[in-house]
Amino acid sequence: MIEVDSLTKVYSGMRVLDIPQLQIPEGQSFGLVGNNGAGKTTFFRLILDLIRASTGHVISDQIPVAGSEHWKVYTGSYLDKGFLIDFLTPEEYFAFAGEIKGLSSGDIRDFMQKNTEFFAGEVLGKKKFIRDLSAGNQQKVGIAASMMGNPRVIILDEPFNSLDPTTQIRLKNMLNDLREHHKVTLLISSHDLNHITEVCDRICILDKGKVVQDLITNEQTLETLKEYFSA
C-alpha cells in the first residue's frame, strides 16, 4: 500500500530522516515510536506530501505521492492542530471537510451522530469556535475528521495526546475496529508504548531518522520497547 524508497530529508546540512526501504501492506496497523527529534513527524509529513524529500520517494497505491492528487481521495490524516480551521465551529468544520470528501449533508449529520460517544458531549452544540475548545476537544475534532468518508489509509501523529483516559480507551476501540473489521491501513505514532502495542500489528523504532528495529507485535513487544528506551 505504502512504499518508501531511498527516502531522506536534510535540514541545514543535517540528515533528519534516512529510510532506504520500507513497505506498509494494505490493511496493516503500523506504529512508529521514538524519542523527540527521531523523525516521526517528518516521515508522516513526507507521506502526506507536506514537505519534499531530499532524495527518494514515497509511493502510495503504486503512485508517487509527490505531485499527485490520487492518494488524497482515500487518505485521512491528523498530525496537529494546524490541520484544523480554528475560526470555525466543529459543525462548520465537519461540513467543510465533508464537502471536500464528497459527502452529502445527510452523510455529515450521520457522521457527527456516529461520533457522539467519542465527543462525550463536549464538542458539538457548544456554539464555540474550535480555537476556544480545550486541547483535548480540538484533538477529538481533528481525529474524527481524519476518519470522514471511510478512508482506506489513516495517518495519526500522537493521537492520544491531550485526551482523557476515557477518550483514550474509546479511541483505541475505534482504531482496533478499523483495523480488524474494516481493514484500514493505519499509521500511528505515539510516545505511549502501552497504547501503540494495543493498536498496532507492527511497530518500528525510529532513532535519529533511522529505523533501528522493526517488530511484529506479540506478547513480548511491550517489554522489548521498554528495554530499548531504558537502555
Distances (CA, A) of 60 to 1, 63, 65, 76, 112: 6, 5, 6, 13, 29
Name the CATH superfamily housing domain 2-230.
P-loop containing nucleotide triphosphate hydrolases (3.40.50.300)
SS3 assignment, position 36? coil
Domain locations in the chain as residue ranges = 2-230
pLDDT digits (tens, 9 = 90+) for 165-197: 999 999 999 999 999 999 999 999 999 999 999
Cβ(97)–Cβ(52) under 8 Å?
Answer: no
Cβ partners under 8 Å of residue 136, min gap 6: 162, 163, 164, 167
- Per the structure block, which three cell numbers stand in for 167? 477518550
pLDDT digits (tens, 9 = 90+) for 71-103: 999 999 999 999 999 999 999 999 999 999 999
Confidence category of residue 117, pLDDT binned at 50, 70, 90: very high
Proportion of the chain above pLDDT 90, given as a percent: 98
Which DSSP symbol is given to 33? E
pLDDT digits (tens, 9 = 90+) for 121-160: 999 999 999 999 999 999 999 999 999 999 999 999 999 9
Distances (CA, A) of 26 to 29, 32, 41, 42, 179: 9, 17, 21, 22, 10
* pLDDT at residue 33 tops 90: yes
pLDDT at 67: 84
Q: What is the maximum span of the chain, computed from C-alpha positions, in angstroms?
A: 53
